[in-house]
Amino acid sequence: MSICRNCGVEIDDSFATCPLCFSSDKLPDKKQEVVQAKQTNPGYSPLTRKEKGRLFWELSSLLLFSAFIVTLMIDLIHSGRSTWSRYVLVSLTAAFLYITMTVFSIRRLWLFLPSLMLVSAGLLLSIDYFDGGIDWVVHGLPMAGSFVVLLGIVMVFGYRARDKGFNIIAFAALAIGIYCISLEIFIRLGMNLPITLSWSVIVAASLLPFALILLFFHYRLKRGTSLRKFFHL
């Protein structure tokens, strides 16, 4: 299989031109590129998915650590002690932990989801400690909990689905709509207001037809449609 340089469609080796745009300018597929690279450079080996994840983690850690040091130094030089930088430093630490969990434990949901909740709770507790109150935990923890639960449901479905394609995006869209409704409920409860839904219902109603169309495409027209091939990416 080769790829059309003009429109990106995969072309069977038996075709001389692209069936979509009729261009004869073709690129070799990734497997052929790897073979050619190994022939020209015997020591060449493409990065595995695990190696790419670790490289992303290393670069992200370096950037976050640099931001951590710069933020702390600016606050110490300006104020003589850590003041506003405490909030930034705690947020950067939480971001580091989120990235670490995503890279190394995202496929172990029994570890990833509870860790995600614990880090979120730790972030909220730290902010409350700096502020001297409990508002962030009281109002933010239910929001974080509902997000983790819905994320877990979507991830379990994604891992167990036999055909992965538009159905994953559809269920993610439905989860976003449900989360918006729960978010508005928690916000109104935190403000001691009666529970009346407004903007969240509009968001959910807008996402529902989008999700149904994607499910129709996936289960009725072409089961297991590859998103990259469908959009010629």
List, for residues 80-98, the tens digit of each pLDDT value.
888 999 999 999 999 999 9
More confident residue, 30 or 163: 163
Q: Look at residue 155 and tell me whether its pLDDT is greater than 90.
A: yes
Q: How confident is the model at residue 33 (pLDDT cuts 50, 70, 90)?
A: low
Residue pair 214/167 in contact (Cβ under 8 Å)? The answer is: yes
The tokens describing 112, both together, are 């990833």
Q: How confident is the model at residue 42 (pLDDT cuts 50, 70, 90)?
A: low
Residues 177 and 183: their CA atoms lie apart, in Å, by 10
Higher pLDDT, 60 or 164: 60
- The whole-number average pLDDT for the span 168-172 is 93
Tell me the C-alpha distance between 193 and 213, whole Å: 36
Q: How far apart are CA 4 and CA 11, in angstroms?
A: 7
Instruction: Note whether 184 and 136 are within 8 A (CB).
Output: no
Q: Are 177 and 158 in contact (CB under 8 A)?
A: no
Q: Report the distance separating Cα 140 and Cα 144, nearest Å.
A: 6
Q: Where are the domains of the chain?
A: 1-46, 161-233
Report which of residues 58 and 164 the model is more confident about. Answer: 58
* ∠ Cα 202 189 119 (to 5°): 90
Q: Which candidate, 105, 87, 93, 85, places its Cα nearest to that of 64?
A: 93
Q: Which tens digit of pLDDT belongs to each residue from 113-143?
A: 999 999 999 999 999 999 999 999 999 999 9
